[in-house]
Amino acid sequence: MVDGEERRAHIADAVLRLAAKGGLHAVSLRAVAAESGLNIGSVRHYFDSQHELMRFAMRTTIDRTTARLVERREQTGSLSELPPGEVVGQLTDFLSELLPLDERRRTEVTVLVEFLLAARADPGLDDLAREAVQGTVTLARRILDAQARSGRFEPKDPEVEAPRLAALLDGLAFRAVLQPELTSPEECVAVLRAHLAEFVRPAGDTQV
Amino acid sequence: MVDGEERRAHIADAVLRLAAKGGLHAVSLRAVAAESGLNIGSVRHYFDSQHELMRFAMRTTIDRTTARLVERREQTGSLSELPPGEVVGQLTDFLSELLPLDERRRTEVTVLVEFLLAARADPGLDDLAREAVQGTVTLARRILDAQARSGRFEPKDPEVEAPRLAALLDGLAFRAVLQPELTSPEECVAVLRAHLAEFVRPAGDTQV
């Protein structure tokens, strides 16, 4: 007996591989069937429409990214005992989960960019697009707030710093997806680290 | 007599409007003919293929953005006599030409994002995509170098700061195109200004 959830995830994987390679244009029911090794009837059995398949694949992409972040967060543990330099390193590693630094993340980020752009002309994907775009700024705000409370970071204007960090992350991801030779993984990490390091309260400062 | 260059620009305008509204999917020869008020034969007279039409429209988008930057630069004149706060304001205005802050810029940036993504799967557009992605980092490097030479800005690591500013600009543009309600023009400008203000050499510093 085939587990329905597992089969759906298997089909979503095929969608993501096709979209990462050739864009969403390349994702037809026929291509998904071929890529997943199923016949079109089976794909239709699990997804009533192309639209449902697209939503499921976009939902899967967002959920996998979130799951990676949660897992990484749990591995890291508390940062409150670390010196500021190490906090910057840990946060750089953590937020690098959103950057296309290896094959897995490259596929996910690429597909997410494709979906986000497709959602401009497809109101049926707008709630997921909002969730993804809002998600980055919410994550940035949480991290900056937590570090500000601990007295390690000193963001000048918290209202501006969260969208600024979100824009930097999305810009790095976008540039690295579009032109990997111009924006290498090493450069992405160096830029992110430099950005986070600027929040660190100067060494001489007394904490209030 | 119709001027060929003018007619080509007129057709390119139709491509840009269609692409900004519905994505590149929406750009067929038939749709371009209807949008430009010409018949398909006329469009074909100026562009041998869909591919040539796409290249010309992408070229036009890049050239218009560049022309706006050059024009703005000439209007601004020398920044070397201005106090640092005003330099930040002038550079914010200047780089805002790359952000979708009004209808004209929104159309251009949206279409550029569509083209850049399409270029992933279309080697015939790759040279233009490279040019656009490289262009932002080259511009960022020139601005930071000029300000560093004048002693007003103090970028910590010039190698990292240019790609960082480029990623911030592209990230703001990308987020504002995808979800305008989540990333307002006011927020884009505030974020860009805060970023540039961080380069300013602290007031107490002596210049070497």
CA distances from B25 to A76, A203, B60, B74 (A): 44, 54, 19, 37
pLDDT, average across residues A29-42: 94
CB contact under 8 A, B194 and A26: no
In three-state secondary structure terms, A3 is coil
Q: Both tokens of residue A186?
A: 């090493």
Euclidean distance between CA atoms B8 and B5, whole angstroms: 5
pLDDT band at A1 (very low <50, low <70, confident <90, very high): low
Q: Which of A69-78, A187-196, B14-23, B74-83 has the highest mean pLDDT?
A: A187-196
The pLDDT tens digits of the residues spanning A150-201 come to 887 887 787 899 999 999 999 999 999 999 999 999 999 999 999 999 888 7
Integer-rounded Cα Rg, in Å, for chain A is 20
CA terminus-to-terminus distance, chain A? 63
Contacts of B31 in chain A (CB under 8 A): none
- Is residue B204 pLDDT above 60, yes or no? no
Domains of chain A by start residue, with CATH: 1-48 (1.10.10.60), 50-197 (1.10.357.10)
Q: Both tokens of residue A148?
A: 């500000």
Number of residues that make up chain A: 208
Helix, strand, coil abundance in chain A, percent, nearest 5: 75, 0, 25
CB contact under 8 A, B178 and A116: yes
Contacts of B169 in chain A (CB under 8 A): 171
Integer-rounded Cα Rg, in Å, for chain B is 20
Q: Chain B closest CA to A182's CA: distance in Å?
A: 7
Residue A81 makes CB contacts below 8 A (sequence gap 6+) with none
In one-letter notation, the amino acid at residue A155 is: P
Q: Please say whether the beta carbons of A174 and B171 come within 8 A.
A: yes
Name the DSSP class of A101. -
pLDDT band at A18 (very low <50, low <70, confident <90, very high): very high
CB contact under 8 A, B172 and A174: no
